[in-house]
Structure 1
Amino acid sequence: MRLTLHTDYALRTLLYLGARPEVRVSIREIAHAYGISENHLVKVVHRLGQGEFIKTIRGRGGGLMLARPAEEIRIGTVVRFTEEDMMLVDCDGLSSGGRPCILSPACRLRGVLGEALDAFMGVLDRYTLADILQPTDLARLFPELAKPSS
């Protein structure tokens, strides 16, 4: 399974914010750090706000912060929230607007793939943002994260 760019950017954003939980960060700063589109990141941030993973503060001194501790943000929950389609194959023809697969009545692949997806998500559910957040590693990649907060 390949995660969408939207989910990739969401996880990157959460990692960046988690590296400095006491500091408000701008979308521009995150986009610049990762070399990604600010416009696309605005959509990602909006979605993360809807899911109450981050909070946004407008105006002077505003910015983005985690809405709750990194220990309370499960990676599987983020992936489920940001991925629009978790279907591995389109046996019913729903996403393509086409016909169901001719093998559907007798095929057991759907069950096997469902089991595989459950296992994949089960692994992601075992980890929190705090588990994968290594501030020292991130500080090496992004020197601005090593600066003391003001």
Structure 2
Amino acid sequence: MRLTSFTDYGLRMLMRLASAPCHAFTTAELATEFALSRNHLAKIAQRLAQAGIIETRRGGKGGACLALPPEQIRLGHVVRILEEGSALVECLGPSGTCTIDGSCRLKTRLKAAQRAFLDELDRATLADIALPPCPVDPA
């Protein structure tokens, strides 16, 4: 299974947030650290905030921080949130379009593989993959 860059960047963001739970990271900080688009990270942060994984604050002391302890955030849950709408293959997507439907035996196997992949990620938490603590400027 291949994750979208949206999910990859979201996991990186969460790994950094878990490294300094008392610090609110701005999207500009994270974009610079990971050499990513600030706008793309803002969209990811919005999705994670809507799901209750992170909290965001505006203003001078604003930024994003975890809404839950990293030990309570299951990786499978995060991947399901960030991969929402992205199917492993077209026939598993919302439209379910398949030109060989009715005689295809692959779809069932792919669903099982996807379920096993996410079940494995459910065994791990954000605490298991958090980046080492980073020095944070107290200013």
Structure 1 position 126 matched with structure 2 position 123: yes
Shift of 1:89: 2.5
SS at match of 1:28: helix
2:84 corresponds to 1:84 = yes
Counterpart amino acid of residue 3 in structure 1: L
Q: CA deviation at 1:113?
A: 0.9
Q: CA RMSD in A?
A: 2.1
Paired residues, number: 139
Query: What is the aligned partner in structure 2 of residue 101 from structure 1?
Result: 99
Deviations 1:13-55 (A, max 9, x none): 1011110001111110000000000011111111111011110
1:142 — aligned with what?
none
Please name the residue that 2:21 is paired with: 21
Following TM superposition, by how much is the alpha carbon of 1:115 offset from its aligned partner in structure 2, in angstroms?
1.0
Shift of 1:94: 6.0
Structure 1 residue 146 and structure 2 residue 138: aligned? no
Q: Which residue of 2 aligns with 1:48?
A: 48
Closer, same or farther: CA 94–38 of 1 in aligned 2, 3 Å = closer
Structure 1: tracts of 5 or more residues without a match: 140-144
Tell whether the 8 Å contact from 2:76 to 2:121 is kept in structure 1 after alignment: yes
The residue type equivalent to 2:3 in the other structure is: L
**Which letter maps to 1:127?**
A
CA distance 1:121–1:146, shift in 2 (3 Å): same
Structure with more contact order per residue of length (Cα contacts < 8 Å, sep ≥ 6):
2
Task: State the secondary structure of the residue aligned to 1:29.
Answer: helix
> Structure 1 length normalisation: TM-score?
0.83
Judging changes above 3 Å, is the alpha-carbon distance between structure 1 residues 6 and 70 closer, same or farther for their aligned structure 2 residues? same
2:23–2:136 contact (8 Å) kept in structure 1 = no
| Distance of 1:40 and 1:22 partners within structure 2 | 24
Larger Cα-atom Rg: 1
- Could you tell me how far 1:88 is from its partner in structure 2? 2.5
| Matched residue, 1:115 | 112
Q: Distance in 2 between matches of 1:95 and 1:67?
A: 34
Counterpart-to-counterpart distance in 1, 2:92 and 2:60: 51
Give unmatched runs, 5+ long, in structure 2.
Answer: none
Structure 1 runs (4+) greater than 3 angstroms displaced: 91-96, 147-150
Identity of aligned residues (%): 45
